[in-house]
Amino acid sequence: MNLQRPLLLASNSPRRKELLSSLGLTYEVLVKDVPEDFPAHLKREEIAEFLASHKADAYVTDITNHALITADTIVCLGDRVLNKPADYQEAKKMLQALSGTHNEVITGVCILTREGKSVFHDVTKVYFKRLTEAEIDHYITYFKPYDKAGAYGIQEWIGMIGIERIEGSYFNVVGLPVQKLYAKLEELEIIAAG
């Protein structure tokens, strides 16, 4: 894989770093603290795309010949957005709400270059079995999912024992829709095969 320009990842997420590395891409990490507030009128996919684009805005002056990738993942239960839980009780309430139903994981991605922005998203449906209170308590106690939207990581224990099936990209749920990202990087001629 040939990079046509240097790649920056604006994320400290170990999962996003691992996924980008697994694509065979070299990149540097550049992280700024950007508020994750969004206008109240936005819905679902609009929120994910807004947050990814908003994060990219903080890096406009850092971009010379680079391509910068920002992303934001949200979990939706119907029209309700489940953010990162603040504490044990909030994580428990989220997992109880997700138990026995399906949620949608939406990741918004922004690729910023000096030529402009390309913003897109991917949606994956995640179906949970009915979780017991003991399973929820075990997961929160040992895995502390306070840095995860919806209070769960599909790649962790709760995903192994609790998720019956998904519709869409697994990697999108992990935090980066790598297939769509790869295609977009090719389309923008940021990467070239061979």
165 burial level (CB within 10 Å; 0-12, 13-18, 19+): exposed
Phi and psi at residue 107, in whole multiples of 5°? -110, 125
Is 72 an annotated catalytic residue? yes
pLDDT tens digits for range 11-42 = 989 999 999 999 989 999 999 988 888 888 99
Q: What confidence tier does 160 reach under pLDDT thresholds 50, 70, 90?
A: very high
Overall number of domains in the chain: 1
Q: What confidence tier does 93 reach under pLDDT thresholds 50, 70, 90?
A: very high
Give the span between the Cα atoms of 16 and 142, in whole angstroms.
22
Give the span between the Cα atoms of 151 and 75, in whole angstroms.
9
Sign (positive/negative) of CA torsion 184, 187, 190, 194?
positive
pTM over 0.85: yes
Q: Which candidate in 33, 37, 57, 72 is catalytic?
A: 72
Range of the domain at 44: 2-192
Residue 96: give its domain's CATH number. Answer: 3.90.950.10
Print burial letters for 47-70: b (CB count within 10 Å at least 16), e (below 16).
Answer: bbbbbbbbbbebbeeebeebbbbb
**Residues above pLDDT 90, as percent of the chain:** 87
What's residue 194's pLDDT? Answer: 61
